[in-house]
Amino acid sequence: MEIKVPIAAPFLGQKEIEYVVDVVRSGWISSVGKYVSEFENRFSVFCSTKYGIGTSSGTTALHLAVASLGIGPGDEVIIPDFTMIASANSIRYTGAKPILVDSELDTWNMNVRKVEAKISSKTKAIMVVHTYGHPTEMGPILEIAQRHGLYVIEDAAEAHGAEYKGKRVGSLGDVGCFSFYANKIITTGEGGMVVTNSEETATMCRLLRDQAYEKKRRFWHRYIGFNYRLTNLQAAIGLAQLERISEFVEIRRRNARLYNSLLHNVAGLVLPPEANWAKNVYWMYSILLEEKYGIGRDALMEKLLSDGIDTRPFFLPIHLQPAYSGSYEGEEYPVAKTLSEVGLNLPSGNTLSEEQVAYVCEAIQALARAR
């Protein structure tokens, strides 16, 4: 089947080529070079934070953040059940346990009103996830964390440029983590970033990222470190992408407005949220299918694919993941389960044209008319 409308293709232009060629000619193709520091500095400024630490992926950014806060065996970190598995894995890598909270239907994010009941003497942090580009309601989270002496980690892998009450995500908690995978709002191919206002956390992140090499004594290690470095080649692409991030965010929001205008009258579709305190960057334009649409999510995916339209289902909740089998026996998260069963991500990339959006919507409308 020929794909006419991909799910999320990156936009790569002349600047990316120029910067990468500059890196190749310099010979500094690994984790040392001017583009790494420039990308880190400029992305942290974009997020309104003091420090940026580039990493090899969004997952390693999360693991590095959790480890740098001193979280380890016997500790607990509260996370939403409805999230990509990397959020939970990054906690398990340290020996700590993810404690799950159900989602809310209003934003599809962690239900902040259910968080406090999950806090125990073992809790060290709350990890929020800004799902599909919509920020979590951070005010209550920050208040709960302050009252209980907990860290707040923002998994902003999908939410570059999203805002909560006018403040960009990643800057609201103790530490924020981003992904630059190829389908993200800006990309380095693979890559990630930790951002923080804490000098202590930034120093520990930089140390652990690079095998915990000590500056004053080479090949002497006080900590078990990781090889999570971002390369100069990746950072060169990232810097070129960052120069256009406002344009890329507006492309996503423009296409979301067009999707909304074409789909709002289709019975049985729930369109993506945008709370009045939020700026949603629509990493994915996501919908829910109700029974009155007439066919189920998976059947719609098959029919759209036959028209050359690529889609993705929503994440499977952590408590239903085979890798976490037995960890959450008897626990129920009904909203997360429902989202995973009826949620669908439509094409949303930076190269998506208005004509392609119209083509997708016409296919969805035609199926509704044929019921």
Q: How far is the C-alpha of 365 from the C-alpha of 359, rounded, in Å?
A: 10
Q: Which two tokens stand for residue 349?
A: 């990339």
Query: Looking at the whole model, is its pTM more than 0.95?
Result: yes
Q: How confident is the model at residue 160 (pLDDT cuts 50, 70, 90)?
A: very high
Domains parsed from the chain with CATH numbers? 14-242 (3.40.640.10), 245-369 (3.90.1150.10)
Query: Exposed, middle or buried by CB within 10 Å (0-12, 13-18, 19+), for 117?
Result: exposed
Averaged pLDDT, 10-35: 97
- For residue 167, pLDDT beyond 90: yes
- For residue 1, pLDDT beyond 80: no
- For residue 369, pLDDT beyond 90: no
pLDDT at 218: 83
- For residue 72, pLDDT beyond 80: yes
Averaged pLDDT, 51-72: 98
Q: How far is the C-alpha of 312 from the C-alpha of 370, rounded, in Å?
A: 23
Average pLDDT score, the chain: 97
User: Looking at residue 178, what DSSP letter applies?
Assistant: E
Q: How confident is the model at residue 122 (pLDDT cuts 50, 70, 90)?
A: very high
pLDDT 10s digits, 253-289 = 999 999 999 999 999 999 999 999 999 999 999 999 9
pLDDT 10s digits, 296-331 = 999 999 999 999 999 999 999 999 999 998 899 999
Would you say how long the chain is, in residues? 371
pLDDT 10s digits, 186-207 = 999 999 999 999 999 999 999 9
pLDDT at 95: 98
Q: How far is the C-alpha of 239 from the C-alpha of 16, rounded, in Å?
A: 8
User: Tell me, what amino acid is at 53?
Assistant: I
Q: How far is the C-alpha of 339 from the C-alpha of 105, rounded, in Å?
A: 8
Contact 255, 9 (CB under 8 A): no
**Residue 57, CB-side half-sphere exposure with 13 Å CA sphere:** 8
pLDDT at 76: 98
Q: How confident is the model at residue 370 (pLDDT cuts 50, 70, 90)?
A: confident
Q: How far is the C-alpha of 39 from the C-alpha of 185, rounded, in Å?
A: 15
pLDDT at 331: 96
User: Tell me, what amino acid is at 264?
Assistant: H
Q: How confident is the model at residue 216 (pLDDT cuts 50, 70, 90)?
A: confident
CA distances from 232 to 34, 37, 254 (A): 7, 9, 32
Contact 125, 152 (CB under 8 A): yes
pLDDT at 6: 97
Tell me how crowded residue 362 is: count the other CB atoms within 10 A of its CB.
Answer: 12
DSSP string computed for 196-246: ES-HHHHHHHHHHHBTT--SSSTT--SS---B-PPPHHHHHHHHHHHTTHH
Nearest Cα residue to 162 out of 275, 257, 79: 275
Query: Exposed, middle or buried by CB within 10 Å (0-12, 13-18, 19+), for 36?
Result: buried
Q: How far is the C-alpha of 155 from the C-alpha of 176, rounded, in Å?
A: 6
pLDDT at 368: 85
pLDDT 10s digits, 79-121 = 999 999 999 999 999 999 999 999 999 999 999 999 999 999 9
Q: How confident is the model at residue 217 (pLDDT cuts 50, 70, 90)?
A: confident
